[in-house]
Structure 1
Amino acid sequence: MSHRFHPFLLLAFLACCSCSKKSETASDPQSEPVEETVSVAPGSIAEEAEAPAVTREEGEVPADEMDSIETAATIPPTVETDVQLTPLNVNEGKEVVVQSPEPLVYVAPFYPLSKRMEGIEGQVVLQFVIDRMGRVVNPTVSSSTVPEFNEYALQAARDWRFIPALVEGKPVDLEVAYPVRFASEKGSLGVAPGSIFSRLDLIFDTYYVKGPDGYELAEFEVTPIYQQVPQRPFDNDGNLISGKVLISFTVSTEGQTEDARVIESTATELEMPALAAIKYWQFIPRIREGKPVRGRVKQTITFSPEEKE
């Protein structure tokens, strides 16, 4: 049995800041692709959200199908929560104190690049139960201003984790409403000076950059605009596992990651957390003569050793 608790609203702003660096020329097909390294600091939350099965890369990916990641951005979205002690009437009219849930693991829903470039914003209100283990159970859409965003919000919510609600000090299931807002740099957020969005525009399905003599057809390499930090796993002795995972994946024309595969790793325990995080990374895709094209990327994720005091 779950408690219904409508006053509890959590607001997730998908306010992903942009990266400012771009590559002006296409990568040399004969050159070795650059492998970016993303370090994961020790002490990150170690609980894993649902992760995809580990798929390994078979054979070599041709160099001309690989893009170089020129810059990195690890900028989590703003999550505003209303966490407070709230009276709740239960059996026999007895008033007890409920400690509201608190976000523990949050991943930002995917935001299609064309929609954010056009300034199309919206809100999806999800309804779900946070069970006594802190998991999201049976998320559904209560209301939505842009139905196209619904599945992206639902997909992310399934991987969220919470510190569960407490009634008289014991964890309980709690039903909540959770508004997820998709806010664009080309809309209500506003474009930060010097950001990639200050130079890049989408006009009639073609990307342009602002040059000294006006607009020019855009030429970009794959550029991350949001990178979800992987969760840190522990070994049987309670120590954080360190090592590296080399992953390849495709960046779609909308900037979403697809077909992520492990090429190699120093510890198999790190592979699922790395793949789970890659699933939510968002990019400016490779752009040629103003048109986005799919591109394959190599990415090294480094899980840093635990620092000794």
Structure 2
Amino acid sequence: MKNFVLIILGLFLTINVFAQDDKENVFVIVEDMPVYPGGEEALRNDIAALVKYPVAAKENGIHGKIYITFVVNEEGKIEDAKIARGVDPSLDKEALRVMNALDKTWKPGKQKGVAVKVSYTVPINFALDREAAKEEKTSHGEGVNQVFFIVEDMPEFPGGDEALREYIANSVTYPDVAKKDKIQGKVYVTFVVEKDGSVGETKIARGVDPSLDKEALRVIKNLPLWKPGKQRGEPVRVQYTVPINFALN
């Protein structure tokens, strides 16, 4: 029996507001999102079944959350998997191995009826005790208040991906104190799109500086209503994480 707990925290879409690699044609939100065979639960189970907690990491009490970014290509295959935020070389290596070992073919994402590449980030939490699993289960809840990460009909921002980027870019005001002190970096904001399309629980997943974090939260909390996500025809709560890159020219 494994003496550790592996928590698959779910998928989140990544949006870099101020930079987009059009040459690669990688989307972050599309009309028809990619779907893993069997859905989100099957993906979690498959990842958990493949993971082998590195012996050295267990012996040294090393644990933590790893963010892996990858692309689901037009054929439904995973490509360009890389560590977005690591913890330890041994855990990072294992997380990448597992992601690259997933050999099932996704239903590819589509934009305007055409299969396209879509970027995802998967946080995987390597934990050495069962309490972490209990906390994770409690934090996301079950039943009517359950928070999903992938659903059959993903939430849609009015006007789509491009409109979301433009809205955030136009709404952000670079804090004077941050400009003065030349503070810059990428702030990760996690939020829930509620059943009515409103933005619910919002928090900093990874901050840079209090002034930038505060501004990022302000912008996300003021997003207009989305078209809510649906699972089996019913509106559900869906979690997103948006990285906002504050850069000084």
Same fold (TM over 0.5): no
Tell me which protein shows more strand as a share of its residues: 1
| TM-score of Structure 1 vs Structure 2, range by shorter chain | 0.3 to 0.5
Tell me the TM-score normalised to structure 1 length: 0.32
Tell me which protein shows more helix as a share of its residues: 2
Tell me the TM-score normalised to structure 2 length: 0.38
| Structure with bigger gyration radius | 1
